[in-house]
Amino acid sequence: MRAAIINTFGPPNVIEIADISRPQAAPGHVVVHVKAAGVAPWDSLIRSNTSVTAPQLPLILGSDLSGVVDSVGSGVTEFKPGDEVYGVTNEQFIGAYAEFALAKAAMIARKPTKLSFLEAASAPVVAVTAWQMLFEYARLKAGQTALIHGAAGNVGAYAVQLAKNAGIKVFATASAKDADYLRTLGADTIIDYRQAKFEDGLPLVDAVIDMVGGAVRERSMRVLPPHGILVTVVSPKPEDLIRRYGDKVVFFLADVTTTRLNTLTTLFDSGKLLTQVGTVLPLEHARLAHEMLAGAPHQRGKIVLQL
């Protein structure tokens, strides 16, 4: 089968398209005939050997996928060959940029019927991340407020939609070019991060949901009341802030599970949650996809490889 692999860590040009043998169904796993694979910032961390998951070489890049179950390993009762699924390969976040991928049965779910394979592959990690940030870590409820940094990005767009669906007031930071888009998603107040300091004039918020990292996190502590919380998913983990502020600062790695995906599937199928697929490329252009992650021009939304 064809797969986008790396034999050495480094820049996008270490990615090669190779002909390798298909994975075999292992216990607790399914082999997915991949229709589409999402391309994400953490794939570049893995490619450049800066990911905390630290997988061994050689490896197939990619974690988000959608496709059709080809075969199932022992102990798998929830899926059978022919099922249309979406989700993530494994906790190491590798193996999806390929014609066939081995995925843990506990990390995939039935594909939402309303979504195409391209749309479904764009969603798993980013949508689950946003869900966990808002409701499992910040524990936000209707009537509360959130400041969402990087709101027009892939995680951010889900965070805005999920927050609005739950009756949470959203302050969003983004570039001016994304203001109209964020209004359509439901953001109440949009702050152009290139023109204004978000902390000037912002009321205290119950939670800061951070997809930007760096100095933005430190500055965000000023808009949190004593009960407030900053939830961040941007690497590296902010050890210094955690030392200084304790439980007020939380960093975590997304935990994509069948249960969480099924919750999101209900929202996708009821039309309450929309995907945003950006540039679509064939597998052979995986290297270009990674150049886009590093700043080469591409459409807003998730970059997806179509197989």
Ligand X SMILES: NC(=O)c1ccc[n+]([C@@H]2O[C@H](COP(=O)([O-])OP(=O)(O)OC[C@H]3O[C@@H](n4cnc5c(N)ncnc54)[C@H](OP(=O)(O)O)[C@@H]3O)[C@@H](O)[C@H]2O)c1
Instruction: Closer to ligand X by CB, 43 or 70: give it.
Output: 43
Helix extents (H) in the chain: 41-47, 117-121, 124-131, 154-165, 179-185, 215-220, 239-245, 258-269, 286-293
For ligand X, the binding residues in 150-169 under the rule CB under 6 A are 150, 152-156
Tokens of 46: 């893995």
For ligand X, the binding residues in 173-202 under the rule CB under 6 A are 173-175, 193
Q: Cβ(31)–Cβ(44) under 8 Å?
A: no
Q: Cβ(102)–Cβ(23) under 8 Å?
A: yes
Q: Where does this chain touch ligand X (CB under 6 A) — which range of 75-83, 112-120, 211-219, 259-267?
A: 211-219
Q: How far apart are CA 173 and CA 150, in angstroms?
A: 6
Which position among 32, 33, 34, 42 is part of the footprint of ligand X (CB under 6 A)?
42
Instruction: Closer to ligand X by CB, 79 or 181: give it.
Output: 181
Q: How far apart are CA 135 and CA 285, in angstroms?
A: 36
Torsion on CA atoms 212, 214, 216, 217, rounded to nearest 10: 100
**What phi and psi values does residue 202 have, to the nearest 5 degrees?**
-85, 135
Least Cβ distance, residue 92 to ligand X (angstroms):
13
Q: How far apart are CA 304 and CA 31, in angstroms?
A: 20
Least Cβ distance, residue 255 to ligand X (angstroms):
8
Q: Where does this chain touch ligand X (CB under 6 A) — which range of 25-33, 110-118, 149-157, 162-170?
A: 149-157
253 binds ligand X (CB under 6 A): yes
49 binds ligand X (CB under 6 A): no
Peptide bond into 58 cis (omega under 30): yes
For ligand X, the binding residues in 54-113 under the rule CB under 6 A are none
Phi-psi region of 243 (alpha: psi -120 to 50; beta: other; left: phi over 0): alpha
Least Cβ distance, residue 41 to ligand X (angstroms):
4
Q: Cβ(39)–Cβ(290) under 8 Å?
A: yes
51 binds ligand X (CB under 6 A): no
Q: Would you give the end-to-end CA distance of the chain in angstroms?
A: 11
Instruction: Closer to ligand X by CB, 19 or 200: give it.
Output: 200
Which position among 2, 17, 20, 41 is part of the footprint of ligand X (CB under 6 A)?
41
Q: Is 169 helix (H, G, I), strand (E, B) or coil?
A: strand
Instruction: Closer to ligand X by CB, 42 or 131: give it.
Output: 42
Residue of minimal Cβ distance to ligand X: 153
Q: Cβ(168)–Cβ(130) under 8 Å?
A: no
Least Cβ distance, residue 290 to ligand X (angstroms):
13
Least Cβ distance, residue 174 to ligand X (angstroms):
5
Which position among 211, 223, 264, 267 is part of the footprint of ligand X (CB under 6 A)?
211
Q: Which residues bind ligand X (CB under 6 A)?
A: 40-42, 125-126, 129, 149-150, 152-156, 173-175, 193, 211-212, 216, 233-234, 253-254
